[in-house]
Structures are given as C-alpha cells and as structure tokens.
Chains A and B, each alone.
Chain A
C-alpha cells in the first residue's frame, strides 16, 4: 500500500537550515508529482511546494520562495525539502502528499514531521 514517511524535523535556531525527507513506497514514485504542505500550531493548512514527476516543473508559495528548495531522488523514491534562513513563522508540522487515485486534490499524506524554529 502507499506509504509516505517524513523525517528530519528538529528544533533549529532562527537563520538556521534543515533538510526534510519523505520516504515513499507502494507506488511507482517516478510517475507521480509530489507536494509539501505545512501546518503551524493551531492553524490551518498551507500549501508550500510542488515538484513534477521528473523534477522539471517546480512551484513554491511566496512565503518560502528563495529560502526553500524542493527536490527528489527517483532512484531512492524520496522527496526532499531543503529549508534555509529559517524563521519563527516556519514552525509547523510538515507533510508530504501525493495524488494517486483521485483526479484532483491529494489522497495520500504522510504523518508529518515537526519543525520548530526558536532561539
């Protein structure tokens, strides 16, 4: 079955960097587009980045553009999010998600990884 497992979340100081990973299994990773979404404590969902199946099309939310970089390794079936110049407002649970069976929306999500930016 489809599995998405995020890792790499941690406590980091403002201005620091972190790299999140999303390990996948149960589907042909190379054929699917991937998305990162985050959720700040007590807040709603925020879409932050998308990468196409081949990695040739990428989009970012304005809130992370220029600081975050999405990438993927189609051999290791993994998705990544390199986060630089972190701010307190980046504190959130970060989810990776995909669309497999539906023709819209995101029908599979990981359990999330916690990123805390604080001095």
Chain B
C-alpha cells in the first residue's frame, strides 16, 4: 500500500497570502495524484487531478505541481472561502490511498 504523507498538518495563513501544501508518496505514482478540498459537514470537492490539471469550475488561484513522489498544491492568494482541509490522493496503485490532510486556517 502506498503511504501518502501530507505536510504541514496545519497551516496558518492570512487572507491574501500564498499557501503551499506538500504531499509525498512512499513510492513513485507518476502524475496520478488528485487534490481535494473539504469544509466541515460537506463532501470533498475535487480541485486538481493528474497532479496539475484543475477540475471543472476550480479557480485559477489553485495550482498543482510535481510528479513521481513529491507534489505541491499552491493557493496563490487565499480567499475566505479557501479556509478548509485539503487532501491528496494517489490513484496509481490499488488500493488507492489518501493523505491525512492539511488544515488551512486563518492566522
């Protein structure tokens, strides 16, 4: 099973600032990585797939990069609605696995 490690666990950021979230895979997953945003009481929302492709309707301030084992989600200028928990997921191998999440909170 591929272990997905996200860091940091919590990120305190001021509105308008940039947020950089990291996700590391325990073995190569090529670019088969997705990022999700989840707010309390809601289902997750797909942000990025293929490591860097924005899903339909996702604002351009969200961008993904990386390949193999190291991946980054960047939120260029945090808006109030972006404060949430973010998860990465690998879909290169079965079983698919999620990271434990990074909570982005208001500083």
A interface list, Cβ under 8 A from B: 35, 37, 44-47, 50, 59-62, 95, 97, 101-107, 109-112
Contacts and interface: CB of A to CB of B under 8 A. Distances in A.
A104 B89 CA distance: 10
Contacts of A101: 55-56
Contacts of A112: 43
A45 B46 contact: no
12 contacts: A45-B38, A45-B101, A47-B89, A47-B96, A103-B49, A103-B50, A104-B50, A105-B46, A105-B55, A105-B89, A106-B34, A106-B44
Nearest to A59: B94
B43 A95 contact: yes
A50 B96 contact: yes
Contacts of B96: 35, 47, 50
Contacts, number: 71
SS class of chain A's interface: helix, strand, loop or mixed?
loop
A3 to B, nearest CB: 12
B32 A104 contact: yes
B94 A107 contact: no
B101 A105 contact: no
Nearest to A49: B95
